[in-house]
Structure 1
């Protein structure tokens, strides 16, 4: 694997975005297992974007402002939906009843975590354009195995995403107990995450192709 690809992927993945922030919020609110599940969900949310890039459909999206805008505004709406849910919960971000490691959490709770995590990345058209532009930079597009090599790099990017996001989720879970016993801090943290998702929604809304 090209070192420049590895370094670039780590930098891009480690830069906080909606997926990383959602994973951190999951770790804080439900514990280590939820943080890991959120990391899995965010990683799975990359698959459709990679598939579009490999099939050439990303080029269609790049040339189709209407399609790009439909997905973009769906992403904006979903980010605002999550922000509203966090804002209106006066208990705070880490006030759920699950145990520290998430072992007492219900299947429904974890199902919701992975659903939201997948949608956070799925409804981000910038990821499709990113793969359309990013992967070909590290592959000889004229080679007969260029699609296979791009798929391999995409899988590596997904692996890097999972590792870094898992670290984010697990790290957030480690400070969960500290937050839970401080209601004011807990409530302010929840409001802070809600506002952050609003900011991300606004940034996505004003993004052009």
Structure 2
């Protein structure tokens, strides 16, 4: 496994995007455990992209403008939905009451959907990843699986780091209603900005 692949993967994962924002928002509102669950969901959202890449569907999607555009605009719509939810009183950045935690399954499903509809991951797995695999290598298939799993591991660990950090400062933020209001606005604005960037990607 090349150093170039490891460094590039780390840079991609560290760059704040939809998954990082969602993980931090979840950790701020519900604590470190929820942040870890969100990180797991974002990581699991990479699986469909990995499966598509290693089974040869990459060429099909890259050749179909309609398919890629459809995926992109579904992602835009979902990001706008996340922005709207975040602004609501019961949105992603509203502290839960201790007796009414958000189900882990719901956190995971939201995170998985977000990453499934993220063309940045599609481009990574469909275009970037194969560059590190020799198509003439008889072990090309397991090699792509190996690289994909490393990417997912990096994603999980880095996102946990973001979530733990957010949870660590949670009390200082959630105990101040005006700060929470502005945090909701900032996160909602981030989702809107990401959706706009994605729409013109």
What is the TM-score with the length of structure 2 in the denominator? 0.94
What is the alpha-carbon root mean square deviation over aligned residues? 1.6
Mapping for residues 26-175 of structure 1, pairs under 5 Å: 26-89=26-89, 93-98=93-98, 106=101, 108-175=102-169
Distance 2:135 2:35 in 1: 37
Cα shift at 1:182:
0.8
Deviations 1:145-172 (A, max 9, x none): 1111010010011000000001111110
3-state SS of 2:103 partner: helix
8 Å Cα contact 2:26-2:92 kept in structure 1:
no
CA 1:105–1:36 in structure 2 vs 1: closer, same or farther (change >3 Å)?
farther
Equivalent residue pairs, number: 201
CA 1:25–1:146 in structure 2 vs 1: closer, same or farther (change >3 Å)?
same
Distance 1:4 1:91 in 2: 39
Deviations 1:16-70 (A, max 9, x none): 0001111111110110011000000000000000111111111111111111111
Q: Which moved more, 1:121-130 or 1:77-86?
A: 121-130
Cα shift at 1:96:
2.0
Deviations 1:108-145 (A, max 9, x none): 53222111100110011331222122222222121011
What is the TM-score with the length of structure 1 in the denominator? 0.91
Q: Which residue in the other structure is 1:10 paired with?
A: 10
8 Å Cα contact 1:39-1:165 kept in structure 2:
yes
